[in-house]
Chains A and B, each alone.
Chain A
């Protein structure tokens, strides 16, 4: 009896130990790779190694529709999206959109229509599309809606974003997030972006964020 108990305890300890070092979930990274535009692929390719170090698998999606992204994000630990956007809505393929509120269930998928716990497994959602951080009376606040459905944190930008700046800021963010909190990763990305790309880029990405949720946590 004692030995049986010993085995169970040992097995539990081993299981917990393995959980710490092996993959603990999936990050969905959406980008749009089209001819005539600067590549957004580095938003995905530059962070796969960092995510692997953190114990995550990285799933890249090149220009899929809102329905696919919406469904998959419910089982993701993280969500990064770098495509077109405008005030309060994130564009996806085939003229479909992710929005905060007032979706129509088809072309426009609203985060507010999810169940209250659909995003409980999500550590962070990052919306890089131009002006997706603006709140509008129709589409609401996409970052806040994401947190309302359970994500720990969400961030979007209130300005026109530029592809190379986003690619590099994103890389810097995840470089730091391997070991530090979200807020420390913001600070690291802001500082080194200004050094690596330039002062204008540093100002743009630092001073125009809509930050929601708890950023004083690690996403590892």
Chain B
């Protein structure tokens, strides 16, 4: 009996050990394979990789703080290489050609129970934050201006949206450079928490479209291009609406992205982005 128990215990112990460690290896293998792979044809604009030749550590001064950070990864989009560093607190810093273009503070939100989330006091607290959107606009302006290169004035940008993001309780201010009626991807976004701390910022394509003159964009030509594309994609009877137009980059060239929704064959709405080289 004693011997049998020992055998059973040994078998159970071995089964547990093998299962546990083999599961760990599967998890690790997946982690490794998820780095450095190229996504499908429709999202080939985003490649995440790790370049071992990049400098391992970097030191910067940001908002009066001296920060040491370690290289983490690269994100290659359709026209930009973003090099990401992390500091000891896991805050992330984005660099393009050695220029700081982004920062996102690592925030660990407390886990809450359903009861806590459903309390009236929790909901009313969020509602009270919402009305304070204008309070932090000056801080957002100052931060946004400090992120722009010397000689670039925030007054050349339009504050296109200011929101309170209820889920993570941050005020989000988004400044965009316009060319005529066209929004561009030349932008600065600043997020600020309810205590007035900057929690993230991001600049995109700063100054990239300054050489484009508004009067060189022919609206009629753009709309004709969209019309031809929509007919070739969805047939002569396609019913569509242009929702918005934006000047951006694709393969390092200036383009107009036209956002269109249309009535699909099932009678419901679908969407399309028509990209036209400038």
Which residues of A have CB within 8 Å of B111? 181, 216-218
Of A21, A184, A187, A217, which one neighbours B24 at CB under 8 angstroms? Answer: A21
Closest-CB distance, A214 to chain B (whole angstroms) = 5
Closest-CB distance, B15 to chain A (whole angstroms) = 8
Closest-CB distance, B263 to chain A (whole angstroms) = 10
Q: Are B104 and A191 in contact (CB under 8 A)?
A: yes
Of A10, A183, A198, which one neighbours B167 at CB under 8 angstroms? Answer: A183
Task: Pick out which of these stretches binds chain B: A46-54, A67-75, A138-146.
Answer: A46-54
Which residues of A have CB within 8 Å of B174? 199, 203
Which residues of B have CB within 8 Å of A171? 39, 43
A88 to B99, CA, bound (A): 44
Which chain A residues numbered 174 to 195 have a C-beta less than 8 Å away from chain B? 175, 180-181, 183-184, 186-188, 190-192, 194-195
Q: Are B257 and A194 in contact (CB under 8 A)?
A: no
Which residues of B have CB within 8 Å of A198? 185, 204, 246, 248, 257
Which residues of A have CB within 8 Å of B16? 14, 17-18
Known contacts A42-B39, A162-B271, A199-B189; decide if A207 and B30 are in contact (CB<8 Å). no
Q: Are A41 and B40 in contact (CB under 8 A)?
A: yes
Interface size of A in residues (CB-CB distance below 8 Å) = 68
Is residue A38 within 8 Å, beta carbon to beta carbon, of the partner chain? yes
Interface size of B in residues (CB-CB distance below 8 Å) = 74
Closest-CB distance, B61 to chain A (whole angstroms) = 22
Q: Are A7 and B5 in contact (CB under 8 A)?
A: yes
Known contacts A50-B34, A199-B189; decide if A162 and B259 are in contact (CB<8 Å). yes
The DSSP consensus for interface residues of chain A is helix
Q: Are B271 and A199 in contact (CB under 8 A)?
A: no
A interface list, Cβ under 8 A from B: 3, 7, 10-11, 14, 17-18, 21-22, 36-39, 41-42, 45-46, 49-50, 52-53, 84-86, 91, 95, 129-131, 152, 160-164, 167-168, 171, 175, 180-181, 183-184, 186-188, 190-192, 194-200, 202-203, 206-207, 209, 211, 213-218
* Sampled A-B contacts (8; CB under 8 Å): A10-B12, A21-B19, A21-B20, A22-B19, A36-B233, A183-B168, A191-B102, A198-B204
B interface list, Cβ under 8 A from A: 5, 8-9, 12, 15-16, 19-20, 23-24, 26-27, 30-31, 33-34, 39-43, 45-46, 75, 77, 82, 94, 102, 104, 107-114, 116-117, 160-161, 163, 165-168, 170, 172, 174, 176, 183, 185, 187, 189, 200, 202, 204, 233-234, 243-244, 246, 248, 257, 259, 261, 264, 266, 268-273
